[in-house]
Amino acid sequence: MNKTNNYAVYLLDADDTLLNFTLGEKHALKNMLYDFDYEMSEELYNTFHRINRGLWKKLADGKIKKSKLLPERFRLFAAEAGLSLIPELANRSFLTHLSYQAIVLPGVESVLEQLSRHSKIIIATNGVSFVQKRRFVLSGLMPYINEILVSEAIGVGKPDPLFFEVALRLAGNPEKKDVLMVGDSVESDIRGANNYGLDSCLYDPQGLNPDSEATFTISKIEELLTL
């Protein structure tokens, strides 16, 4: 596990790769609902999670703009769940609560500490800038991170080639062969990296995508140290 790594730069996805987005999303939704005098339930969470995930996939496919996605998810959620919500206010409340959800997944800090001894660590994430940056500040992982690239800041996200171009620029313009993209999304992380000519590593702890086109597939984050 202490093998010197082969990559000069690691582009690391944030949500459900380094940080527990699923649990953070649930906590943020619960707090948002409380702000509007509603009680959280598993049914409400499942409804929101399905709607939210579907819209973010549309964003990755270029079928919706993020400015529309953010309030739209709460308009659809309120309509389906029978809640009285003002979408813009619900979204603002949710994002504020989400920005404090800095739940680091097991093994991540140790892996980043070891990788950062020899390589640059660039966080490459689709999302809202203030939310993602606050979460990493609160996570305790910043000593190991060189840069945080959030899609909102540049107007495009993974899998757009421009996102990866900017990421490499932030990393000092390394050769593509020296860069590894790591993430849990086949659509955004793996296909985006592959199409840009980078090696890719799918983090797939539940083994849901055995036939992905990733250069590597790992089920534990510690396996990054052996690549």
Residue 60 φ then ψ, to 5°? -60, -30
Q: Rounded to an integer, what distance in angstroms lies between the CA atom of residue 219 and that of residue 202?
A: 8
Active-site amino acid positions = 13
Element (H, E) at 48: helix 42-60
Q: 106: which DSSP letter? A: T
- Please, how many CA atoms are within 13 Å of residue 49, restricted to the half-sphere of its CB? 16
Q: Rounded to an integer, what distance in angstroms lies between the CA atom of residue 76 and that of residue 44?
A: 12
Q: Which tokens sit at 196?
A: 């840009």
